[in-house]
Amino acid sequence: MRWYACLPALAVTLFVATSTAARDKVPLVGVVISGDPQSPSPAHVRQRDAFLRGMADLGYVEGRTVGYDLRFWGNDTASIATIMAEFARTPVDIIVTQATVGAHAARAHAPSIPTVFASVADPVGAGLIDSLSRPGGKMTGGALLSPELAVKRLQFLKEMLPMLRRVAVLSRRGSDQHDRIYQGVASAAPSLGLELDRFEATGPGDAAEVAGRIMRSPAEAVLVLEDPNIYFNFFPMPNAPPSAVDAFRVSIPTVCAFRNIVERGCLASYGPNQADQFYRAASYVDKILKGADPGELPVQQPSKFELVINKRTAKILGIEISHAVMYRVDEVIE
């Protein structure tokens, strides 16, 4: 037999091998969630498990049809950049993350990888996407309606504390997003008979000083704008060592955005159910894995909201929550 007679058979063999390899390649999804890598809080575990359940409900089987690289970024948001750079080197096929800082880190350190953000306060205002209906680029996911929800939280504070007159607004210095949110709550405050005082913090270095100024101020309650750095520094994880801001949580009523911050001592929260946001993120991952362009997938608005009260914090503060408010509460944390 001449040597070239075997070429057709060789071509078939190579085609079969290549097709099998392509078929056997399991897509890898990198998932980054806020939380302590060594001991994530129950809320962060719920977010992770909700995403995995969403993928399973869509028919994905870990190890057979999908793989996961699951990370918690800890108390230092700077570590997100390291994780995203590792995802780019791996590389993962899709990134799932949360918060504006997570989405910005993905775009900066893994710009070619499609990214699904489970929850970002204002993705358009943050410059992450072009519009909610047509994001453009490599990103899509779920928005939080933060400006509108901040006003709702202010209204809730007034309902919970009818005699309330002065509220401190705790935000992150240098945040354009917080500037926009503050403008919204400042516009709503007069109709509620409230005056606002804004306090800005940057990180662990000034958290105790800012907390002290709030406690010495005439403010009778605090509206805490959502931001990982603010939450980590003013509401440390349950297993964190004692800090100078511990007195803050039991000296003045605070309202936050998410349930997991109530678990860490905040009096109350009102906002999207974050576990549900992660569950819904799975549908985007499914679409992208099947060939959809993330830039063409409209950003979803939250569909499930929850009002949560920390009963222990209320007792320490001497606050009696009215029956009218308790009737609307979705969960009471003892």
Per-residue pLDDT tens digits for 238-285? 777 778 888 998 899 999 999 889 988 999 999 989 899 999 999 999
Of 11-20, 146-155, 225-234, 258-267, which range is least confident?
A: 11-20
Structure tokens of 238? 């349950």
Domain 6-144+274-303 falls in which CATH fold?
Answer: Rossmann fold (3.40.50)
Higher-scoring residue by pLDDT: 236, 128: 128
Where along the chain do the CATH 3.40.50.2300 domains lie?
Answer: 6-144+274-303, 146-272+306-333
CA nearest neighbour of 245 among 198, 196, 204, 216 = 204
Q: How far is the CA of 239 from the CAs of 36, 45, 167, 236, in angstroms?
A: 9, 15, 29, 8
Confidence of residue 75 (pLDDT cuts 50, 70, 90): low
**Are 207 and 234 contacting, i.e. CB atoms less than 8 angstroms apart?**
yes
**Are 32 and 96 contacting, i.e. CB atoms less than 8 angstroms apart?**
yes
* CA atoms lying within 13 Å on the CB side of residue 218: 7
Pure H helices in the chain: 7-24, 42-57, 79-89, 99-109, 146-160, 176-188, 204-216, 228-234, 246-249, 259-263, 274-289, 311-317, 323-326
**Are 33 and 228 contacting, i.e. CB atoms less than 8 angstroms apart?**
no
Residue with tokens 């007679």: 5
User: In the prediction, which pLDDT does 19 show?
Assistant: 36
Share of the chain above pLDDT 90, in %: 66
Query: What residues does 222 pair with on adjacent strands?
Result: 168, 254
State the distance between the two ends of the chain, measured CA to CA, in whole angstroms: 83
Per CATH, the homologous superfamily of domain 146-272+306-333 is: Response regulator (3.40.50.2300)
Confidence of residue 129 (pLDDT cuts 50, 70, 90): very high
Higher-scoring residue by pLDDT: 82, 39: 82
Whole-angstrom Cα distance, residue 195 to residue 187?
A: 10
**Are 236 and 264 contacting, i.e. CB atoms less than 8 angstroms apart?**
yes
User: In the prediction, which pLDDT does 192 show?
Assistant: 96
Q: Lay out the sheet containing 221-224: strands in order across.
A: 195-201, 166-172, 221-224, 254-256, 268-272, 305-310, 331-333
CA nearest neighbour of 263 among 220, 302, 306 = 306
Within 10 angstroms of residue 211's Cβ, the number of other Cβ atoms is 25
The answer to whether residue 3 scores a pLDDT higher than 80 is no
**Are 240 and 74 contacting, i.e. CB atoms less than 8 angstroms apart?**
no
